Amino acid sequence: MDKDAYNGALKQAIPRRIREAKTVTAAAVPKYPEQTQREYKRVSDAYMKLVQETFKEYAPRIKAAIRNEQESSKRNDSLFDLQRAIADTFQEMRDRLQERIDAFDLLAHLRKVGENGKKLSTKQWKRLVKRTLGVDLLDDYYSGAFFSTELEQWVNDGVSLIKTIPQDSLDAMENIVMDGFVDGKSLTDIQRDIQAQYGIDKRHAAFIARDQTAKLNAAITERQQKDAGVRRYKWSTSGDERVRSDHKKLDGRVFSYDDPPVVDSRTGRRCNPGQDYNCRCVAIPVFDIDELNLPLGRGDES
């Protein structure tokens, strides 16, 4: 379809009352992708569980070595032996953990999370356009290669952010055992410290899952909206008590994708919704009717 034919078809498809308004803000607020976030967290939890499984497998050996040393009469000689035994055990654990990591295929898991997130976001976008402009969008326009660059970049980012957390966690545990032992801590205390370390690392991975979900949503939304001829959006926060004050100030105001507002008054950093750390804000598209470039669905083509 050439440009004139397309414009004609689009005008026919959009009800006159909306056309004459020239500028229309979307009739609904895009939802934050909670489901994608849950799926990502499931992956990060399962990935971190590999550390726990590995540690559990070797814990009896470490405990036995420590008990053995504590019961020994010649402490100084056996301390050296114990340190070697622990170091050797942790080296085996690292190899075992690496086997588990290789079998897990983090890349494939994150690709699936990303694909599902894209599907959800596209479905929502179509519904939003239908509700606001009364237009049906082409069903398969956004499938296939449309987001492949964004998606692949996002998957790779996610992998490099959490890839090393399990091995780093195991390294930290080795230090806890070594130091704890040298400091004369009890087995119970060492075990408690290990649990605490695992909790910290698991939360770190979960934080990345949350943050990466928002980034995916932001990237897809921006691409979808800009491709459709949308240049501006209305900032929308999630409206709960966790919204930071710098973002609260932006709520309900209209900005341009090419000129994002300051999201951090301390550093002057500028971002579109969802791009800031752990930001759950979304962009409500503002449609300028004359700028629209929507992939029209079959029902609206002439």
Residues contributing to the site for Zn ion (CB under 5 A)? 247, 279, 281
Segment (H or E) for 288? strand 282-288
* Smallest separation, CB 249 to Zn ion (Å): 11
Helix (H, G, I), strand (E, B) or coil at 229: coil
**CB closer to Zn ion, 41 vs 247:** 247
Q: Give the span between the Cα atoms of 296 and 302, in whole angstroms.
A: 10
* Smallest separation, CB 237 to Zn ion (Å): 6
**CB closer to Zn ion, 137 vs 281:** 281
Q: Which two tokens stand for residue 5?
A: 């034919």
Q: What is the dihedral of CA 258, 264, 269, 272, to 10 degrees?
A: -30
Segment (H or E) for 217? helix 187-227
**CB closer to Zn ion, 232 vs 247:** 247
Q: Which two tokens stand for residue 141?
A: 């326009």
* Smallest separation, CB 234 to Zn ion (Å): 14
Buried-state track 104-126, b at ≥16 Cβ within 10 A, e below 16: bebeebbbebbeebbebbbebbb
* Smallest separation, CB 90 to Zn ion (Å): 41
**CB closer to Zn ion, 185 vs 244:** 244
* Smallest separation, CB 3 to Zn ion (Å): 37
- Closest C-alpha to 3, from 292, 300, 297, 298: 292
Say if CB 113 and CB 210 are below 8 A apart. no
Q: Give the span between the Cα atoms of 75 and 129, in whole angstroms.
A: 75
**CB closer to Zn ion, 93 vs 263:** 263
**CB closer to Zn ion, 281 vs 292:** 281
* Smallest separation, CB 98 to Zn ion (Å): 37
Q: Which two tokens stand for residue 106?
A: 């983090």
**CB closer to Zn ion, 36 vs 169:** 36
* Smallest separation, CB 207 to Zn ion (Å): 15
Q: Judging by DSSP bridges, how do beta strands 262-264 and 254-256 pair with one another?
A: unpaired
